[in-house]
Amino acid sequence: MRRPITMTSLKKLIMENLPSNNTKPTAKQDLVTSCAGDCTALELGFSVNIFDHALSSLVSEQSVVYFSDRDVRATQKGITQYIY
């Protein structure tokens, strides 16, 4: 049985799936696939709607820059806040 994922946990998963070298873009779909796989391995619930909300929240707090569907990048602020 899957447990529900918290917004904080999903934000952390998103940040962990973005390269800490923010010169490399990551496609949004690749990020969704990676996070969904992590949630499956951790037996956590996942939905694209919740993912979109978490990603939007990360953009609002300036932890992620969303240039386009093909170019999502972590900021140094986000790396420091969620990874280290």
Helices (H), 42-83: 48-60, 76-82
Question: Model-level pTM?
Answer: 0.93
- Highest CATH level, class, for 7-82: mainly alpha
Please state, in angstroms and rounded to a whole number, the distance separating the CA atoms of residues 66 and 23.
13
**Over the stretch 52-79, which tens digit does the pLDDT of each residue have?**
999 999 999 999 999 999 999 999 999 9
**What is residue 61's predicted lDDT score, i.e. its pLDDT?**
98
Residue ranges of the domains in the chain? 7-82
Angstrom distances, CA of residue 52 to CA of 21, 47, 48, 49, 84: 23, 9, 6, 5, 23
